[in-house]
Chains A and B, each alone.
Chain A
Amino acid sequence: MLRFALRRLVSMIFVLFAISVLTFVIFTVIPGGDPAVRLAGRNADNAQIASIRKDFGFDKPAYVQYGRLMEKVFTGELESYSTGRLNVFDEIVKGIPRTLSLAIGAAIMWMLFAVALGLFTAMRAGRASDRVLTVLALVGVSMPVFWVGALMNYYLGFRAGLFPNGGYVPLTEDPIQWLYHLILPWTALSLLFIGVYSRILRSNILDTINDDYVRTARAKGLSERRVLVKHVLRNSMIPIVTLWGLDFGAVLGGGAILTETVFDLQGVGQFAAESIESLDQPPVIAITIFGAFFIVLLNAIVDIVYAALDPRIRLT
Chain B
Amino acid sequence: MALAFGLLFIVLVAACLAAPIWANQVAKTGPIKNHLTDTVVVDGKKKDVVTPDGIAIGPTFQGQYFFGADGNGRDTAVRLLYGGRTSLFIGVGAALITAFLSVVVGLLAGYFRGWVDAVLARILDVIWAYPVILLGVALGTALSLGGLDVGPIKIDADSKLIPVLIIAVVYVPYMARPLRGQVLGMREKEYVEAARAQGAGPLRIMASEILPNLASTIVVFLPLIVANAILLEAALSFVGAGVRPPEPSWGTMISDGVKSIITAPHLTIVPGVMLVLTVLALNVFGDGVRDALDPRAKIRLER
Closest to A278 in B: B141
Quick one: given A27-B138, A32-B146, A144-B272, are A277 and B283 in contact (CB under 8 Å)?
Answer: no
Contact (Cβ within 8 A) A257 B231: no
Scan A275-302; emit 1 where CB is below 8 A from any B CB, else 0.
0110100001001100110011001000
A residues near B303, Cβ cutoff 8 Å: 243, 246-247, 250
For B268, list chain A residues within 8 Å (CB): 147, 150-151, 154
Q: Chain A residue with minimal CB distance to B134?
A: A254
Whether B28 is near chain A, meaning CB under 8 Å from some CB there, is no
CA distance in complex: A254, B279 (Å): 23
Within 8 A of A (CB), among B98-157: 122, 125-126, 128-134, 137-139, 141-143, 145-149
Let me know if A33 is at the binding interface, CB within 8 A.
Answer: yes
CB neighbours of A203 from chain B (8 A): 297
The verdict on A150 contacting B240 (CB below 8 Å), with A250-B303, A291-B131 known, is no
Q: Which residues of the partner chain B approach A153 to less than 8 Å between Cβ atoms?
A: 261
Docked CA distance A58–B116 (Å): 37
> Within the complex, what minimum Cβ distance (angstroms) separates B143 from chain A?
6
B142 touches A27 (CB 8 A): yes
Within 8 A of B (CB), among A238-262: 243, 246-247, 250, 253-255, 257-258, 261-262
Interface centre among B137, B147, B287, B302 (most CB of A within 10 A): B302
A-B contact count (CB 8 A): 153
Interface residue? B92 (CB, 8 A): no
Q: Say whether A11 faces chain B, with CB atoms less than 8 Å apart.
A: yes
B164 interface residue (CB < 8 Å to A): no
Is the beta-carbon distance between B138 and A138 smaller than 8 angstroms?
Answer: no
Residue of A at shortest CB range from B138?
A: A26
Inter-subunit contact B262/A158 (CB<8 Å): yes
Interface of A is mostly: helix
With contact pairs A138-B284, A158-B262, A250-B303 given, residues A147 and B272 touching in the complex (Cβ less than 8 Å): yes
Interface residue A40 (Cβ < 8 Å from any Cβ of B)? no
Q: Does A142 belong to the interface (CB within 8 Å)?
A: yes
* Nearest-CB residue, chain B, relative to A247: B303
**A279 and B141 contact, CB distance less than 8 A:** yes
Asked if A144 and B131 sit within 8 Å, CB to CB, the answer is no
Q: Is A135 an interface residue (CB 8 A)?
A: yes
Q: Which residues of B contact A255 (CB under 8 A)?
A: 131-133
Bits for B268-283, please: 1 = Cβ < 8 Å to A, else 0. Answer: 1100100110011001
- Do the beta carbons of A150 and B258 come within 8 Å of each other? yes
Q: How far is the CB of A305 from chain B (nearest CB, A)?
A: 18
Given the contacts A32-B146, A139-B276, A279-B141, A295 and B283 also touching, CB distance less than 8 Å: no
Q: Find chain B residues with CB under 8 A from A276 CB.
A: 134, 137-138, 141, 239, 241
A33-B145, A142-B280 are known contacts. Are A258 and B129 too (CB-CB below 8 A)? no
In the assembled complex, the Cα of A243 lies from the Cα of B301 at a distance in Å of 12
Question: Chain B: interface secondary structure?
Answer: helix
A111 to chain B, nearest CB (A): 15
Across the interface, A288 reaches (CB within 8 A) one of B131, B145, B240, B279, namely B131
Q: Is the CB of A257 within 8 A of B239?
A: yes
Find the A residue at minimum CB distance from B133: A257
Asked if B95 is at the interface (CB within 8 A of a chain A CB), the reply is: no
One of A13-21, A62-70, A89-97, A119-127 at the interface: A13-21
Decide if B238 touches A254 in the complex (CB within 8 Å): no
Q: Are B280 and A139 in contact (CB under 8 A)?
A: yes
- Residues in chain A near residue B231, CB distance under 8 A: 142, 144
Is B179's beta carbon under 8 Å from chain A? Answer: no
Asked if B254 and A26 sit within 8 Å, CB to CB, the answer is no
Chain B, residue nearest A284 (CB): B138
Question: B245 in the interface, Cβ–Cβ < 8 Å?
Answer: no
B235–A258 touching, CB < 8 Å: yes
A138-B287 in contact given A32-B145, A147-B234, A276-B239 (Cβ < 8 Å): yes
Asked whether B196 is an interface residue with its Cβ less than 8 Å from the other chain, the reply is no
With A150-B258, A151-B268, A276-B241 known as contacts, the answer to whether A292 contacts B143 (CB < 8 A) is: no
A141 within 8 A of B: yes
Q: Are A138 and B283 in contact (CB under 8 A)?
A: yes
CA distance A16 to B142 in the complex (A): 21
A283–B279 Cα distance when bound, in Å, is 34
Contact yes or no, B146 A254, CB < 8 A: no
Q: Smallest distance from the beta carbon of A150 to chain B beta carbons, Å?
A: 4
Separation of A135 and B283 alpha carbons in the complex (Å): 10
Please state if A296 and B129 are interface contacts (CB–CB under 8 Å): yes
Whether the pair B134, A291 counts as a contact (CB closer than 8 A) is yes
A291 to B135, CA, bound (A): 11
Contacts of A261 in B (CB 8 A): 239
Most buried by A among B131, B143, B269: B131
Those of B248-297 within 8 Å (CB) of chain A: 251, 254-255, 258, 261-262, 265, 268-269, 272, 275-276, 279-280, 283-284, 287, 297
Given pairs A147-B272, A255-B133, A257-B134, 20 additional interface contacts (CB within 8 A) = A11-B122, A19-B130, A31-B145, A135-B284, A142-B280, A144-B254, A144-B272, A150-B258, A153-B261, A154-B262, A200-B300, A243-B303, A254-B134, A255-B131, A257-B239, A258-B133, A288-B130, A288-B131, A288-B134, A291-B134
Q: List 12 A-B contacts (CB under 8 A).
A: A15-B122, A19-B126, A31-B145, A139-B280, A154-B262, A158-B262, A203-B297, A258-B133, A276-B138, A276-B241, A279-B142, A296-B129
Could you list which residues of chain A lie within 8 angstroms of chain B, going by C-beta atoms? 11, 14-16, 18-19, 22-23, 26-27, 30-33, 131, 135, 138-139, 141-147, 150-151, 153-154, 158, 192, 196, 200, 203, 243, 246-247, 250, 253-255, 257-258, 261-262, 272-273, 276-277, 279, 284, 287-288, 291-292, 295-296, 299
